[in-house]
A and B are shown apart, each in its own frame.
Chain A
Amino acid sequence: MTRHRGRGMASINYPIGMNLGGDPSQALVHSNPSGKFTVALSSIDLGQGMKSVTRQICAETLGVPVEDVYVDTADSDTGPHCMGSFASRGTHRVGNAVMAAAREARGVMMEAAAEELEVNAADLETDGRGNIHVKGAPHRSISTKDVAIAAQFKQGKTISGRGIFLVPLSDVDPETGEMSPATCYAHACLVAEVEVDDETGEVAMVRMDSAYELGRALNPRLVEQQLVGGAWMGVSHALYETPEPYYPDPVHGPRDFVEYLMPGPGDICPHDIAVLERPAPDGPFGGKGPGEMCANPVLPAVANAIFNAVGVRIDDLPITPEKVLRAIKAQGGARPQARR
């Protein structure tokens, strides 16, 4: 029995969102009389950080502390329309909608503040700490709370804003059929190192090294978290998960969490991540988002690493020990390829 090491690489370009129907998302932003803001969305945060990142985008655009913004993902019956949390579109599409809504709300807030301070709204600026003051004269100041109270009880104004992001429909070139399905792309490259046991066919992850280009990382810790978890979701699709191991025959399919294979804490390996920030011109503060791209390069990289280790090319996922072993037997033994 021998354990063979192998290394494989994969690179991807991944579209942010889609073009279907213009891929729209809406956001509504309003303040209540306490000077706190609510962002209403139908987009769902299922752990990827949608609430955190839209909260940051809204606070930054309004010029108020992040603590003063609450994101309500409500539901799709009562919230403004959103295509959904998929296609790596959340940060870009929903973020742009939130930015537009916050910009409109900021306009009303500045007008209301101008009325209270008896100055021109164009002469006002926010300090990011909950105050609005005259440019160059910070003592001529009013808190966003007092502005909100004045708007509500004195001026009869709603400090609110509406935002939508819609992708312009891409025309199809009648000659070539060419069109632009997406407005921006994220990119990644991942090198996987594996160890393949030629007696059992088992594949163990040894390490991963990766680089991601995803626009500006609006929340670097959340980006890193998503890249770590996403890479392991990729490993899981490459090596473990399937509801039908003998598809289309459902035989031996898993029936519960015990039989459905997923990586556990003992399977993980060192994973080095480099994030390259190249702000996207049409992204909110330059953000595109990691999304699905964090899982996708792992599958081909692992398949290539297995080929590099034992010389078998498996093109059917997941790459189970049985498939590896049958392929090794079919070619009369492991044939390690040159290490690069």
Chain B
Amino acid sequence: MTKIPLQFRHNGRDVAIFVDGGTNLLVALRELIGDMTPKFGCGQGGCGTCSVLIDGELHLSCLTLAETVAGRSVETLDGMKQGPNLHPLQRAFADNFAAQCGYCTPGMLMAAKALLDRNPAPSRADVIEAISGNICRCTGYEPIINAILAAAGGRASA
């Protein structure tokens, strides 16, 4: 099969790879770029742990054809840290014990970032809506919701 050349921005850095036609973005990120932060959960858009931002908008990388991100900007959890410092959302997740097994955490953080980027002061209902596409099998939604609200509050007061 012919390889397709693909260039896009990955967490602010230009990357160029060759992908097979039909490769999804999750596989491209994990296997070709080596960014293991988007997780493989179900591979069919049901669990949300592969969530990434494409031009700032939340997408399921397992359902996104890699070719469609040509020239666009892809953000993953790997790019969330601000230099040596944790992002306020990551800090709030740690402070609120919002991870148990941790498998849903990358997707939860990306969904939360997408929310706070467009709505810096969300209500509890907004937060629930924003993470409703993400499954937490440990059912730790309460601390996750609290962490996102805390990050939003901290940001508003900062």
Contacts and interface: CB of A to CB of B under 8 A. Distances in A.
Interface of A: 46-48, 221-222, 224-226, 228-230, 232-233, 236, 256-258, 262-266, 268, 271
B123 to A, nearest CB: 13
Contacts of B45: 258
Interface of B: 41-42, 44-47, 97, 100-102, 127-129, 131-132, 134-145
Contact of A229 (B46, B47, B100, B134): B100
Contact of A232 (B42, B102, B141): B141
A225 B97 contact: yes
B135 A47 contact: no
Q: Is the interface of B mostly helix, strand, loop or mixed?
A: loop
Contacts of A221: 97
A47 B98 CA distance: 11
A257 B142 contact: no
A47 B100 contact: yes
A46 B101 contact: yes
Contacts of B102: 47
Contacts of B44: 256-258
Given A48-B100, A221-B97, A268-B142, 9 more contacts: A47-B101, A224-B97, A229-B138, A257-B41, A257-B135, A262-B139, A263-B141, A264-B141, A265-B132
Contact of A228 (B42, B131, B137, B142): B142
A229 B136 CA distance: 9
Q: Closest 4 CB pairs between A and B?
A: A47-B101, A257-B46, A232-B139, A47-B100
Contacts of B129: 266
Contacts of B101: 46-47
Given A228-B143, A257-B44, A265 B138 contact: no
A229 B128 contact: no
A262 B135 contact: yes
Nearest to A271: B142
A185 to B, nearest CB: 25
20 contacts: A46-B101, A47-B100, A47-B138, A48-B100, A229-B100, A229-B138, A232-B141, A233-B139, A236-B139, A256-B44, A257-B42, A257-B46, A257-B47, A258-B46, A262-B139, A264-B141, A265-B128, A265-B141, A266-B129, A268-B141
A225 B140 contact: yes
B150 to A, nearest CB: 15
A208 to B, nearest CB: 11
Which of B42, B129, B139, B144 has its CB near the most chain A CB atoms (within 10 A)?
A: B139
Given A47-B102, A229-B100, A265 B131 contact: yes
B140 A264 contact: no
Contacts of A262: 135, 137, 139
Nearest to B144: A265
A159 to B, nearest CB: 32
Contacts of B100: 47-48, 225-226, 229
Contacts of B138: 47, 229, 233
Given A233-B139, A265-B144, A256 B132 contact: no
A121 B42 CA distance: 57
B99 to A, nearest CB: 8
A326 B79 CA distance: 52
